[in-house]
């Protein structure tokens, strides 16, 4: 017979199988967010390029914003910032889930401890009751034996009494 922990774990696995997470949907949303941020970075880079091409350069010492290398660096920076934001968001979600799982684990551990204590208490009470029943059975057997002996003695004395007459 499986114990209650095995039954509990199997019910959790059954629940996970009956309500699976749609990973394709999660992946599609992540890809869409990546694409949106990449397009926004490209848009910002092009807007900066257009804005700088309309104004004359006042300082020749600074690199030109028309330079494709600078535009690529800006786009890379935007992509890195977007990636950082996505990673931080996932980290916060993971930390929240971790806190929830820790709280659930703590509650489950307490429940397991309480159930184990209840089981031990019930086991002790059952053993005590079985011992009590065994002792009562022995006592009844002794009383029945004594009654039989007394009945035989009375019958024997009655027989002896009738023989004497």
Q: Which residues of 78-116 are buried (b: 16+ CB within 10 A; e: fewer)?
A: bbeebeeeeeeeeeeeeeeeeeeeeeeeeeeeeeeeeee
Token pair for residue 124?
């002790």
Q: What is the mean pLDDT of residues 104-125?
A: 96
pLDDT digits (tens, 9 = 90+) for 115-145: 999 999 999 999 999 999 999 999 999 999 9
| pTM of structure | 0.42
Residue 45, Cβ density class (10 Å: 0-12 exposed, 13-18 middle, ≥19 buried): buried
pLDDT digits (tens, 9 = 90+) for 51-94: 777 655 544 445 555 677 777 888 888 888 888 888 888 888 88
Choose from 11-15, 43-47, 99-103, 128-132 the range with maximum mean pLDDT: 128-132
Nearest-angstrom CA–CA distance, 136 and 162: 38
Residue with tokens 């494709």: 68
What residue segments make up the domains of the chain, in order of their start?
A: 15-53+64-133
Q: Give yes or no for a contact between 81 and 40, defined as CB atoms under 8 angstroms apart.
A: no
pLDDT digits (tens, 9 = 90+) for 21-41: 666 766 777 778 778 877 887
């Amino acid at each position: 017979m499986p114990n209650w922990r095995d039954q509990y774990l199997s019910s959790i696995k059954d629940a996970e199988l009956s309500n699976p997470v749609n990973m394709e949907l999660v992946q599609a949303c992540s890809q869409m967010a990546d694409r949106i941020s990449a397009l926004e970075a490209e848009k910002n880079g092009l807007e900066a390029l257009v804005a700088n091409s309309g104004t004359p350069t006042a300082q020749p010492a600074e690199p030109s914003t028309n330079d494709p290398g600078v535009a690529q660096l800006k786009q890379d920076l935007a992509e890195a910032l977007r990636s950082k934001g996505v990673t931080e968001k996932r980290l916060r979600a993971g930390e929240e889930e971790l806190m929830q799982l820790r709280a659930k684990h703590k509650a489950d551990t307490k429940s397991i401890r309480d159930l184990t204590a209840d089981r031990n208490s019930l086991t002790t009470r059952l053993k005590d009751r079985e011992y009590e029943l065994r002792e009562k059975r022995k006592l009844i057997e002794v009383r029945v034996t004594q009654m039989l002996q007394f009945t035989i003695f009375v019958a024997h004395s009655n027989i002896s009494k009738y023989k004497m007459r």
